[in-house]
Amino acid sequence: MTEPVPASGTVHWVGAGLSTGSGLASLCDTAARVRLWHRTEERAAQALAAQGLTGRAEPRAYTPPALAAELAPGDVVVSMLPAPEHGPLLGMCVEARAHFACSSYVSDAVLEQVPAAEAAGVTVLTEAGLDPGIDHLFAHSLIARASEVIGPDTAASYTLTSYCGGVPAVPNDFRYRFSWAPAGVLNALRSPARYIEDGAETTADRPWTATRPHVIDGETFEAYPNRDSVPFVQQYGLPAAWKPRTFVRGTLRLDGWLTAWAPVFEELDRGDDRRIAELARELAARHPTTEADRDRVVLAVSFDVRAGSGARWSGRYLLDLIGTEEESAMARCVSRPLALGIGHILDGSLPAGLSRAAETGERSEEWLDELREDGVGFTLRID
């Protein structure tokens, strides 16, 4: 296995959108040098000033050639750009022998460059935000704890549900608050969802049609599957002797969302790309996020294992945070674990090649302890 290129101590944070929160500030304490790249140097300077980081990080105007000119071996590039831009950025990192980090799912464009990155000693940290990110840590921790009790070689069946949502802290008529681009929200709803239910793989061509009530500590939410849950059975390293009854990763919404969004679903069903792009702009104008708004992030991961012998283990993690005047809950929950992961690149504890947050129970416990110390609170309940 190739050793990672020693970290230089310089971090290039690219993009200052809605998910750039106090994780950037924490990096200013751990990294030797931080540069914030944004559309213009003035916009970057404004973003730094808003977080009280003037003089602690250097503002830069982002263009790929400008970033490439400042990259050195061992630097860390943090992409807060849209997912399609991760591939080109990673290619730039491999050429410069710089490390790469993002909070997004692994795309094909990233995955195909992993062998070259590993050979070059480049660490590629992905899925290290909230969802994906903290949800992975919760899942690995629960699976490891259950394995100690049930035994990985014992025949058993299990249910794993992982639901996450960004919602308004004070419910509104729309039952939603945009925490990322409306076009992205709408297009995600147009993508089929694959998951396991009653022991069989199931696909919902329109994810919202699979919406179910989901009760968390007495509060009723609405939950639906998203993306493709099935590959995560392998990614989470679930024992082969354990068979899934239910395995679903999905999205949480406030109770009443399905009704409030009925007109939106009608538009999505028609599938007119131009109209949906127009609808995204209309929704952004109709439901703007204001300075007075406060968001709420809820992440609930539950795991229940039942062995043929009658043994049973059940546990659940719950994260429930409300944003503050200084920082949204979403920005905190995405940027803090990402900064934590970048810290592990800087200290050399992540290997060359691909890492999806922490990928073992033991390593996940370490990250969770660090998150607690960093002020990202959550609870663990074992029944």
**Residues marked as catalytic:** 131
Burial 240-255 (b: 16+ CB within 10 A, else e): eebebbbbbbbbbbbe
Amino acid found at 71: L
Is there a contact between 76 and 348 (Cβ–Cβ < 8 Å)? no
CA 200 to chain CA mean position, Å: 26
Could you give the count of Cα atoms lying within 13 Å of 246 in the half-sphere of its Cβ? 13
Provide CB contacts within 8 A for 324, sequence distance 6+.
294
Q: How far apart (Å, rounded) are the C-alpha atoms in residues 284 and 246?
A: 35
Q: Which stretches of the chain are assigned E, i.e. beta strand? A: 10-14, 33-38, 58-61, 76-79, 99-102, 123-126, 156-168, 193-197, 200-204, 212-216, 219-225, 242-254, 295-307, 312-322, 353-356, 379-382
**Paired strand residues for 303:** 160, 315
Q: Which residues contact 351 (CB under 8 A, 6 or more apart)?
A: 1, 4, 123
Residue 154, token pair as written in the block: 């014992």
**DSSP letter (8 states) at residue 215:** E
Report residue 16 as tokens. Answer: 């200052």
Inter-CA distances, 55 with 45, 46, 59, 154, Å:
9, 12, 9, 57
What does the alpha-carbon distance between residue 109 and residue 96 come to, in Å, rounded to a whole number?
A: 18
What DSSP character marks residue 4? P
Report angle CA 227, 152, 371 to the nearest 5 degrees: 55
Q: Are 158 and 304 in contact (CB under 8 A)?
A: yes
